[in-house]
Amino acid sequence: QAIYLKDYQAPAFWVDQVKLDVALDDHQTRVISTLSLRRNDQREAGLPLVLNGQGLTLKRIELAGQPLAETDYQYQEDLLTVARVPDQFTLVTEVEIDPANNTALEGLYKSNTMFCTQCEAEGFRRITFFPDRPDVLTRFTTRIEADQQRFPILLSNGNPIERGELDNGRHFVTWEDPFPKPCYLFALVGGNLQAVKDTFTTMSGREVALEIWVEPENLHKCDHAMRSLKASMRWDEQTYGREYDLDIFMIVAVNDFNMGAMENKGLNIFNSACVLAEPKSETDAAFQRVEGVVGHEYFHNWSGNRVTCRDWFQLSLKEGFTVYRDQSFSADMNSAPVKRIEDVAMLRTAQFAEDAGPTAHPVRPDHYIEINNFYTLTIYEKGAEVVRMMAELLGRERFRQATDLYFERHDGEAATVEDFVACMAEVSELDFSQFMRWYHQAGTPKIEASGHFDADARTYQLTLRQHTPATPGQADKLPLHIPVRMGLVGPNGHDLPLELNGEQLGTETVLHLREAEQTFTFHNIAAEPVPSLLRGFSAPVKLAFDYSREQLAFLMAHDSDGFNRWDAGQRLAVLALQHLVNQIQANEPLQLDPALIEATRTLLNGEMTDKAVLAEMLRLPSEAYLAEQYEQVDVDAIHKARSFARKALADALYDDFLRLYKVNQRVGDYAPEANQIAERSLKNTCLGYLMAREDEATIALTQEQFNCADNMTDQRAALTLLAHAEDPRLGAEPLRRFGESWAHDPLVMDQWFSLQVTRPQADALDRLKMLMAHPAFSLKNPNRVRALIGAFVGQNRVNFHRQDGQGYQLLADVVIELNRLNPQIAARLVIPLTRWKRMTSERQDMMKAQLERIRQESLSPDLFEIIEKALAA
Ligand code: ARG
Ligand code: ZN
C-alpha cells in the first residue's frame, strides 16, 4: 500500500495535449477527454498504458478512433490499463461522475449551488482517466457546458477562446491554457457568480485582468483580497524578479473547501475564509490571513506552477519555498518582528509536537500511504525554515541569484529538492551535503548550550551540543549543519565585539554548528557577557541554556535582537509557569514569581514604541507551548498555572493594564492597517488580563466594548472574554444577540461556534454537544467542523482531555462519521488523539481505546495510515 521515493520511475507515456469536454450536471456530469499520448522513449519498450481513474463510470473508450473491445482494457482498483498500444495515439474516454454526492471535496464537487474542483494532490483522477502524477505536463483545452440560468459563469485555466448558446437553455465556454501543466493544477468552476475586477500592469508593461469571483452576497468582501493580490504581484517582481505570465488571473471563493486555497494555473480556488474580509465582519487576524494566503497562492505561479514537483515526495520543494516567500511578503507588508514571532510560536508548538508524535516525518518523506496526510506543518513550516536557513547562508544577493538560476534552469519542468539545493550550492560555492540532512531526518534537533567565562584569560567559551531524538522508523540521527546566529551582550547592555580564532566578526555572527559538539572561544572579553543565541530563530531547533531569571530579564530589556527579546520573556514566563505547575502538583499554595511581575511592569511602563511587539511580549506562552516543555503533560496543572498567572498579573498591575487599555482607544476611523492593528492587539491583550479578575468595572468595560465596537476585532475580543467568563450569565445575552445578527454570514458564525466551545469551564463539552445539534451545524462543511470540533480538541485542552474521557469519545464518534464523508478532514481531526504518549497513563488508555474503536471501522487510506502509526508507537 505504501509508495516509496526510491521506486520513482519516469512516466511510460507523455500527454502532449488534452481536450476536455465537461457537461455539468448535479448527478450525471459527463466528461469526454481526448488525450494525445506518446510513449516515453526513456522507458523500456512495450509498456502498457496505465491511467488513474477513481469512481468513474466508463461509458466509452476509443483508441485511434476505434472503440476498444472489452478484452482490450481493464478498469479495476482505480487503474485503467490498455495492454497493447502504439507509440503515439489518441485515446478518447467518456465517463460519468456525480459531483453532488462528492462529500470528499476532491475532484469535481458542488459547494452550495456552484460546481468547483480540487485536484491537488490526486483529485484529477476523480474527474477523468489520466496519468495523475505531477511530472506529466500537458496543454489543456477545456470546454464546459451547463444550464445557462443556474450557471452563467463557467471558468477554467488560461484564456477563454470561445463561447456560445446551445439548445435547452444550455451554454458553453471553452478555455485554453497555453502553459503545459500537471493535472493537479487543473480547475473548473461553474456557478451564478459575480466578480470584482481590476487590472495590473506588469513590470514589462503587460496588462493583466484581475477577477475575484464570489456569490453575490459577498461582493462587498473582496477589496482586501484584490489589494493583496496586486501587492503580491508587485512584490514578486521586486523581490524575485518574477512576472505574471497569463493575460488573466482569477480567484474564486467557495464555502466548502478542505484546505486554505489552491494555486490552479490562472484560476486560484479559495476557501472563502481565506479571501473574504470586511471590517464589520472580519477581524484583523482574518485580514492578515487573507493577505498571506492570496500572496502564497499567487507566488505558487512560479514556485509550484512554472517549476513544479517531480513527485509528491518533493512537496516541500514548492510548499516550503512558497511559505518562505509568503512569510517574507507578510513581513514586508506588516510588522516584521511580529510576523516572525507568530510563525515561530506556531512552529515551536504545533510543528515541534508533530515531530515528537507518531506521525513525525522528514521535510522530504521517503514513503507514504496517502499523500493528503503530508500537507503538514513539517512540509510547510519546517520546510520554510529550511529554505530560510539557506537564504541566511547565502545572503540576500546570492540567494536571489540562486533563485533566478532555479527558475530559469527549471522553468517548465518538474523538479526535485536536489535541483533546488544544487542552485544554492552552485551560486554560493558552499557545500550543502551535510545540510541536506534537514530534508532527510525527522525530529526536532536540540542544542544544549553552555558558557564559561574566564576572567584571567579574558575569554568566553561557548559550547554547543546537538542531538536529534529518534522518531518512528528513524532511530539514529546524524549531526546537522545548524546556523546559530548570536551575539554576546555585555554588562552595559550592548553587544560586544566578537573575536573568534583571531578574526574580528563585528558584534553579531553566525556560528556553523556541524559536529555533535563544538566549542567556540571568544577572546578579549572583559566582563561576563550574557549570550544571545539563535537570534531571529536562525534554525528550527530547541535551544537550552541555563539562564538565570536575572539574565532573562536583562535580555528582555537589552538584547539588540527583537525576536530574542521576546524569546527571553517567553523563557522567563515558562520558568514562572513551571514553578506554579510544581506547586500545584505538590499541593502547595501558589505564588507567581515576582521577577515575572516586575518584568511585566517594566514592559507596561517602558517606552517600547512598537505596540505590536509589546502586545506579543505581554502574552504568556500558550498551554500548548507549555505542554511542549514536558515529557509527561499535566494538562490540568498547566491550565491552572496559566490562569493563576494571568490573574496574579492582573491583580498586581491592574492600573497599568487599565491605563494602557485606555491610551490605546482609537480616535478616528477604523482601518485594517499596521498601526491600528497593533493598537487593537495591545488594547485587547490588556482587556484580557483585566477580565481575568472578572470585577465589575472590567465587566462593564468589556460589555461597553462589545456593544459599541465598529469593527469585528474589538467586538469579537469582547465577546470572547464575556463568553469565557467564569460566570456563564455574562456571555449568554451577547452570544444570543451576536448569533442572531450574524446568522446570514457563515464566516462570522464559524467564529460564534468556535468561541463557545473554547470556553475553559467544565460546561464546554455540553455546549459542544448542544451546538452540534444546531441547525447551522453540518459535518459536510469543513469550516464548520474545524470551527466546532477542531477548535474544541485543538484549543480547549482541559476539556478535550477531560478526566472522564468524554472528549476523546466525542472526537472518535465524529471521526468515524467523517471517515465516510470526508476522509481528508477525518484524518486531520484525529491527530490530537494520536498524541497519547505524552499524557498520563489513565488518559493514555482511554485515548488508545478510542483509537482502537476507530480501527474497527472500514477505514479510508487517509485514516488507516494515521491510526496505524498512532497505535504502533
Ligand atoms: N497547494 C495548496 C496550497 O498550499 C494546498 C492544497 C492541498 N490540498 C489537499 N487536498 N491536500 O496552497
Ligand atoms: Zn501552497
Q: Which residues are catalytic?
A: 297
User: Is the pLDDT at 608 greater than 80, yes or no?
Assistant: no
Residue with the smallest CA separation from ligand 1 atom 5 is 262
Choose which residue among 124, 258, 262, 297 to substitute to test ligand 1 binding: the one with the highest number of ligand atoms within 8 A of its C-beta: 262
> What is the number of the ligand closest to the CA of 862?
1
Choose which residue among 120, 251, 294 to substitute to test ligand 1 binding: the one with the highest number of ligand atoms within 8 A of its C-beta: 120
Asked if 316 and 417 touch (Cβ cutoff 8 Å), the reply is: yes
Dump pLDDT digits (tens) for 707-721. 999 999 999 999 999
Is 259 a pocket residue for ligand 1 (Cβ < 6 Å)? yes
- Across the range 15-27, mean pLDDT stands at 98
Can you tell me which atom of ligand 1 is nearest the CA of 304?
1
> What is the number of the ligand closest to the CA of 319?
2
Measure the N-to-C terminal CA separation of the chain; round to a whole number of Å: 19
Q: Give the Å distance between the CA of 120 and the centre of ligand 1.
A: 6
Dump pLDDT digits (tens) for 35-56. 999 999 999 999 999 999 999 9
> What pLDDT score was predicted for residue 602?
96
> What pLDDT score was predicted for residue 210?
99
User: Is the pLDDT at 759 greater than 90, yes or no?
Assistant: yes
Asked if 865 and 373 touch (Cβ cutoff 8 Å), the reply is: yes
Dump pLDDT digits (tens) for 88-141. 999 999 999 999 999 999 999 999 999 999 999 999 999 999 999 999 999 999
Residue with the smallest CA separation from ligand 1 atom 2 is 262
Q: From residue 644, give the alpha-carbon distance in Å to each of 549, 620, 626, 650.
A: 20, 12, 14, 10
In this structure, what C-alpha cell is assigned to residue 581?
A: 505547575
To the nearest 10 degrees (0 to 180), the angle between helices 841-855 and 806-821 is 20
Dump pLDDT digits (tens) for 724-757. 999 999 999 999 999 999 999 999 999 999 999 9
Residue with the smallest CA separation from ligand 1 atom 7 is 120
- Across the range 29-36, mean pLDDT stands at 99
Query: If pLDDT is split at 50, 70 and 90, which confidence band does 786 have?
Result: very high
User: Is the pLDDT at 21 greater than 80, yes or no?
Assistant: yes
ipTM of the complex: 0.98
Asked if 267 and 155 touch (Cβ cutoff 8 Å), the reply is: yes
Residue with the smallest CA separation from ligand 1 atom 1 is 262
> What is the number of the ligand closest to the CA of 262?
1
Asked if 360 and 471 touch (Cβ cutoff 8 Å), the reply is: yes
> What pLDDT score was predicted for residue 437?
98
Is 105 a pocket residue for ligand 1 (Cβ < 6 Å)? no
Is 372 a pocket residue for ligand 1 (Cβ < 6 Å)? yes
Is 453 a pocket residue for ligand 1 (Cβ < 6 Å)? no
Can you tell me which atom of ligand 1 is nearest the CA of 372?
11
Query: Burial level of 207, CB count in 10 A (0-12/13-18/19+)?
Result: exposed
User: Is the pLDDT at 607 greater than 90, yes or no?
Assistant: no
> What pLDDT score was predicted for residue 667?
82
Is 742 a pocket residue for ligand 1 (Cβ < 6 Å)? no
Q: Give the Å distance between the CA of 262 and the centre of ligand 1.
A: 6
To the nearest 10 degrees (0 to 180), the angle between helices 696-708 and 712-723 is 140
Residue 155 DSSP symbol: E
Q: Give the Å distance between the CA of 387 and the centre of ligand 2.
A: 14
Is 370 a pocket residue for ligand 1 (Cβ < 6 Å)? no
User: Is the pLDDT at 31 greater than 80, yes or no?
Assistant: yes
Helices assigned H by DSSP within 188-262: 223-240
Q: Give the Å distance between the CA of 30 and the centre of ligand 1.
A: 26
pTM of the model: 0.98
> What pLDDT score was predicted for residue 609?
81
Query: Burial level of 775, CB count in 10 A (0-12/13-18/19+)?
Result: exposed
Choose which residue among 105, 117, 259, 370 to substitute to test ligand 1 binding: the one with the highest number of ligand atoms within 8 A of its C-beta: 259
CA pair distance 322, 111, nearest whole angstrom: 27
Sheet holding 267-271, edge to edge: 194-201, 207-214, 248-254, 267-271, 261-262
**Amino acid at site 491:** P
- Across the range 21-42, mean pLDDT stands at 98
- Across the range 825-835, mean pLDDT stands at 98
Q: Give the Å distance between the CA of 147 and the centre of ligand 2.
A: 33
> What pLDDT score was predicted for residue 668?
87
> What pLDDT score was predicted for residue 779?
98
Is 258 a pocket residue for ligand 1 (Cβ < 6 Å)? yes
> What is the number of the ligand closest to the CA of 318?
2
Q: Give the Å distance between the CA of 625 and the centre of ligand 1.
A: 26
User: Is the pLDDT at 541 greater than 80, yes or no?
Assistant: yes
User: Is the pLDDT at 173 greater than 80, yes or no?
Assistant: yes
User: Is the pLDDT at 666 greater than 90, yes or no?
Assistant: no
Return the exposure string of 373-405: e unless at least 16 CB atoms fall within 10 Å of the residue's CB, then b: bbbbbbbbbbbbbbbbbbbbbbeeebbbbbbeb
CA pair distance 294, 274, nearest whole angstrom: 8
User: Is the pLDDT at 310 greater than 90, yes or no?
Assistant: yes
- Across the range 159-175, mean pLDDT stands at 98
> What pLDDT score was predicted for residue 29?
99
Q: From residue 417, give the alpha-carbon distance in Å to each of 78, 360, 387.
A: 29, 19, 11
Mean pLDDT of the chain: 98
Q: Give the Å distance between the CA of 323 and the centre of ligand 2.
A: 7
